[in-house]
Structure 1
Amino acid sequence: MGATTEQSNGNILIIEDSPTQSAQLRHIMETNGYHVISACNGREALALLSGQTPSLIISDVIMPGIDGYELCRRIKEREDSRNIPVILLTSLSDPHDVIRGLECGADNFITKPCNEKHLLSRVSYLLESRNPCQIEARSGLEILFGGERYCITADRRQILDLLLCTYETAIQKNDALIRAQDELSRLNQQLETTNRELEAFNYTVSHDLRSPLTNISGYCQVLQELHGDTLDPTCQDYIQEIYRATMRMNDLIGDLMEFSRLNHQELQRQEVNLSTMARIIAVELKSKDRERRVEFRIADGIVGNGDSRLLQLVLVNLLGNAWKYTGKKENAVIEFGVTNTEGKEVYFVRDNGAGFDMAEAHRLFGTFQRLHSKQEFEGTGIGLATVQRIIQRHGGSIRGEGEVGKGATFYFTL
């Protein structure tokens, strides 16, 4: 930015311990016609002031040794430098910053990172308006702020300048916040629209895929019924494998459609007896394989507030996973219970099955993510992603813990 000011240039003392920020300030000031003197800390700055009198001082607040407030106080206490305007570089993140600035006699604030236009305008204003002859005798005014006592030695002009500067900075930050909120709102709306389009696409594709799958599985059954006696064993195996593959694909499509519908369903929250729900699911699982020896330990009286149909889907998936991954265990145990953590109910499903490596835990709830091969355990890789989405829609969270060969536990809140 080129210089547009018409006032005579002055000497600017910049006190900044960061070489990068010091160079940036130097560039701004020299580009606009000012002569710059630099110091990297407060002690060096005080030594420089003994031999020369700059027109204005710009100092960082946070510095090793003497900080910006203490440095400003010492500058204002000296007869040879008390009339030099001092601008402090600060974040203005704490209301006490303004009080400390008034207490030490600072003339103005500039927030970091520096805005070149505002910096130059304040430098120009202070150099043009500051009249040493009008400086008042400084008698300390003691105030109480935030439980701390401060002695304000700034004159009325300094106080007015500093408060106006603070107000201007607050307005700038508020405008920036409004712009950021507007941009965030726009991006959120865009994201919601994209998600709706993706879910609609997912649902449409999944629905359309079911028709040819139904035809394929139907023709497989027709071939077996009409020509099963004439087909050799190899052909019968091929047909069986095609049929099983269509069933697996059908299950995957069903899971995808269920997953895509989750965000569109309105929650119908009510008190749900989760213990009863879990026992019904356990009976259904046992009926699928009556020869398996599985002990279900379901605590009594577990209730939760949520959508009954969606919570059933959570337990179907979690208990179904526990059933599946204990399939190679001779004496399998599946437990459903609740514990209290920091005053909040945490539900859990625990098993003593295959477990998993905790190093892979970050993949548990991703779609199509599987920690075990399809040869070991069947599945579509969507179940836990569905569970997580339901839990999140209820305002809760879910996490998994496991150890290879020793089982897994899934904890969730509502």
Structure 2
Amino acid sequence: MDQDSSTAISGRTGFKSEALSQSPKKANILIVDDRPDKLLAMVTIIEELGQNIVTAASGREALRCLLNQEFAVILLDVNMPGMDGFETAVLIRERRRLENVPIIFISAISDADTHVSRGYSLGAVDYILAPIVPEILRAKVSVFVELYKITEQVRAQAEDLRLAHSGLEARVKQRTEQLAATNEALQIEVRERQRAEESLLQLNLDLEQRVSDRTAELRLANQELEAFAYSIAHDLRAPFRHIHSYAELLQEEYAEALAPEARAYLTRIGTKSREMGQMVDDLLSLFSVARGKFDRAPVELGDLVQKIISDIKGDILDREIIWQIGQFPMLKCNYALIRQVLDNLISNAVKYTRPRSPAHIELGSFRENGEEVCYVRDDGVGFDMKSADRLFGVFQRLHRSEEFEGTGVGLALASRIIRKHGGRIWAEGKVDRGATFYFTLGQ
């Protein structure tokens, strides 16, 4: 393969990711391997991420590609003739612009421990041994693509704030001169603008520091989803909270001065920013469960169910619900996580039986095929079984938000928790005839 044989490939768009869908610009992924068959295999795996894939058949060809393009991640074969993967990595790290680009080594060499140790010493973020598992490789690459895009978004925001600060500084100076020449009473407004300028400058400095911290974290990242959750917490959570706070402040201070239509828009801004903040919180819980470790202890599920129902009853005093609570076993699980599962399922049953009066909710368990099966059944609006496969997906909703509130993350979180316990969760239902959710804990 010659110098012009490196190829950019636009992959299919089968990979689902909230972070990737928010950025229209595709990231570049560099795959380096001297064997065409291995290159084709890895391209086939990675192209489902829908990004730009660039291939190189040697270390030198890879270095030429890196001179002209930026890459979110490099997949680098270790055993190549001439310049091997380790030598290529050394030359990459010598370039200041490339010292933070994540490198994943791919190898089938039998002396695994020695090569893995050397790979990490050269600054690799991961080391994958053949045979390659497509899902694992695709998941690892997708995390670094997401982290790359988030970093680029943060940089763009920092530049926007810098330009905004520069423009605001010039306007404040001009206004200050005008106000000084007019009357003393307007000096209060000048001081407020100066304070706003200082706040904006501090925000800009904080953001630059966060960008610097993020770069260092990415260089040391071994836990991809933990880094991703950290990025969401700092890059999305705070701005949504700020938007909501500013919307409330405008309503409190300037509502009377606004037209009715403007007040309505302001109310919608506050509502949507609060909903987005809740979605971010739910996502963080989802990733926390996916990566976290937990302890198990014997838990009386019957007592836990009674506590949850007691808490819920205090919030639905205007509802008429007939509860039928059966027997529950004592199972070894994580108390806090299983409480989240049961609270979600029971709260959903209460929510989706809202049109019924009285509503009927039944909870219990039974033994089947050697394991305990717990269930929550209701006579609410139900769902079409044709859409059952969407129930436990992130942001998947079978009912309009105008009818029933929610972020679409609760059942996905419950599914993750159950799977972490080694169990399974599924549902049955009919439209307008109610639904039943079942789960086991792998015991």
The 3-state SS of whatever aligns with 1:228 is helix
The 3-state SS of whatever aligns with 1:304 is strand
Q: Match of 1:183, as an amino acid?
A: A
Do 1:299 and 1:337's aligned partners in 2 also have CA atoms closer than 8 Å?
Answer: yes
Partner of 1:3: none
Partner of 1:385: 412
Q: 1:301 and 1:373, CA in 2 relative to 1: closer, same or farther beyond 3 A?
A: closer
Tell me, in whole angstroms, the C-alpha distance in 2 between the residues paired with 1:203 and 1:325. Answer: 33
Do 1:298 and 1:337's aligned partners in 2 also have CA atoms closer than 8 Å?
Answer: yes
What is the deviation of 1:279?
A: 2.1
% identical equivalent positions: 39
Q: Match of 1:331, as an amino acid?
A: P
Partner of 1:49: none
Q: Unaligned 5+ residue runs, structure 2?
A: 1-127, 144-222
**Within 5 Å, which residues of 2 pair with 1:233-252?**
233-252=260-279
Q: Match of 2:267, as an amino acid?
A: Q
Do 1:267 and 1:306's aligned partners in 2 also have CA atoms closer than 8 Å?
Answer: no
Do 1:217 and 1:242's aligned partners in 2 also have CA atoms closer than 8 Å?
Answer: yes
Matching residue within 369, 394, 397 for 1:342: 369
What is the deviation of 1:351?
A: 0.8
Matching residue within 258, 269, 281 for 1:254: 281
Q: Unaligned 5+ residue runs, structure 1?
A: 1-180
Do 1:353 and 1:406's aligned partners in 2 also have CA atoms closer than 8 Å?
Answer: yes
Partner of 1:134: none
Partner of 1:183: 130
Tell me, in whole angstroms, the C-alpha distance in 2 between the residues paired with 1:203 and 1:334. Answer: 38
What is the deviation of 1:208?
A: 1.4
What is the deviation of 1:345?
A: 0.8
Do 2:360 and 2:379's aligned partners in 1 also have CA atoms closer than 8 Å?
Answer: yes
Matched, 1:285 2:312: yes
Tell me, in whole angstroms, the C-alpha distance in 2 between the residues paired with 1:357 and 1:330. Answer: 22
Q: 1:233 and 1:278, CA in 2 relative to 1: closer, same or farther beyond 3 A?
A: farther
Partner of 1:375: 402
What is the deviation of 1:301?
A: 4.6
What is the deviation of 1:228?
A: 3.3
Do 2:355 and 2:380's aligned partners in 1 also have CA atoms closer than 8 Å?
Answer: yes
Tell me, in whole angstroms, the C-alpha distance in 2 between the residues paired with 1:243 and 1:290. Answer: 28
What is the deviation of 1:252?
A: 0.5
- Cα RMSD for the two superposed structures: 2.5
Matching residue within 292, 298, 309 for 1:265: 292
For residues 12-54 of structure 1, the C-alpha deviation after alignment (integer angstroms, 9 at most, x for no partner) is xxxxxxxxxxxxxxxxxxxxxxxxxxxxxxxxxxxxxxxxxxx
Do 1:206 and 1:256's aligned partners in 2 also have CA atoms closer than 8 Å?
Answer: no
Q: 1:236 and 1:192, CA in 2 relative to 1: closer, same or farther beyond 3 A?
A: closer
**Within 5 Å, which residues of 2 pair with 1:1-80?**
none
What is the deviation of 1:230?
A: 4.0
Tell me, in whole angstroms, the C-alpha distance in 1 between the residues paired with 2:251 and 2:303. Answer: 42
Tell me, in whole angstroms, the C-alpha distance in 2 between the residues paired with 1:286 and 1:230. Answer: 41
What is the deviation of 1:188?
A: 7.0
Q: 1:270 and 1:237, CA in 2 relative to 1: closer, same or farther beyond 3 A?
A: same
What is the deviation of 1:361?
A: 1.1
Matching residue within 409, 426, 430 for 1:403: 430
Do 1:352 and 1:408's aligned partners in 2 also have CA atoms closer than 8 Å?
Answer: yes
Partner of 1:355: 382
The 3-state SS of whatever aligns with 2:314 is helix
What is the deviation of 1:235?
A: 3.1
Q: Match of 1:385, as an amino acid?
A: A
Partner of 2:228: 201
Q: 1:215 and 1:274, CA in 2 relative to 1: closer, same or farther beyond 3 A?
A: same
Do 2:325 and 2:364's aligned partners in 1 also have CA atoms closer than 8 Å?
Answer: yes
Do 2:364 and 2:374's aligned partners in 1 also have CA atoms closer than 8 Å?
Answer: yes
Q: 1:191 and 1:310, CA in 2 relative to 1: closer, same or farther beyond 3 A?
A: farther
Tell me, in whole angstroms, the C-alpha distance in 2 between the residues paired with 1:271 and 1:198. Answer: 29
Q: 1:300 and 1:207, CA in 2 relative to 1: closer, same or farther beyond 3 A?
A: farther
What is the deviation of 1:393?
A: 0.9
Matched, 1:309 2:361: no
The 3-state SS of whatever aligns with 1:292 is coil
Do 2:328 and 2:364's aligned partners in 1 also have CA atoms closer than 8 Å?
Answer: no
For residues 171-198 of structure 1, the C-alpha deviation after alignment (integer angstroms, 9 at most, x for no partner) is xxxxxxxxxx963466576456446535
Q: Match of 2:388, as an amino acid?
A: A
Matched, 1:210 2:157: no
Q: Match of 1:404, as an amino acid?
A: V
Tell me, in whole angstroms, the C-alpha distance in 1 between the residues paired with 2:289 and 2:131. Answer: 24
Partner of 1:223: 250
Q: Which 10-residue stretch deviates more, 344-353 or 262-271? A: 262-271
Q: Match of 1:310, as an amino acid?
A: L
The 3-state SS of whatever aligns with 1:333 is strand
Instruction: Report how many residues are paired.
Output: 235
Partner of 1:275: 302
What is the deviation of 1:380?
A: 1.3
For residues 258-294 of structure 1, the C-alpha deviation after alignment (integer angstroms, 9 at most, x for no partner) is 0011122212101112222222222332322321112
For residues 231-270 of structure 1, the C-alpha deviation after alignment (integer angstroms, 9 at most, x for no partner) is 4443332222211111111110011010011122212101
The 3-state SS of whatever aligns with 2:426 is strand
Matched, 1:331 2:278: no
Q: 1:224 and 1:346, CA in 2 relative to 1: closer, same or farther beyond 3 A?
A: same
Partner of 1:57: none
Tell me, in whole angstroms, the C-alpha distance in 2 between the residues paired with 1:209 and 1:278. Answer: 34
Partner of 1:21: none
Do 1:275 and 1:301's aligned partners in 2 also have CA atoms closer than 8 Å?
Answer: yes
Q: Which 10-residue stretch deviates more, 400-409 or 359-368? A: 359-368
Tell me, in whole angstroms, the C-alpha distance in 2 between the residues paired with 1:233 and 1:366. Answer: 39
What is the deviation of 1:318?
A: 0.9
What is the deviation of 1:328?
A: 1.4
The 3-state SS of whatever aligns with 1:336 is strand
TM-score of the two chains, using structure 1 as the length reference: 0.52
Q: 1:290 and 1:237, CA in 2 relative to 1: closer, same or farther beyond 3 A?
A: farther
The 3-state SS of whatever aligns with 2:331 is strand
Q: Match of 2:383, as an amino acid?
A: F
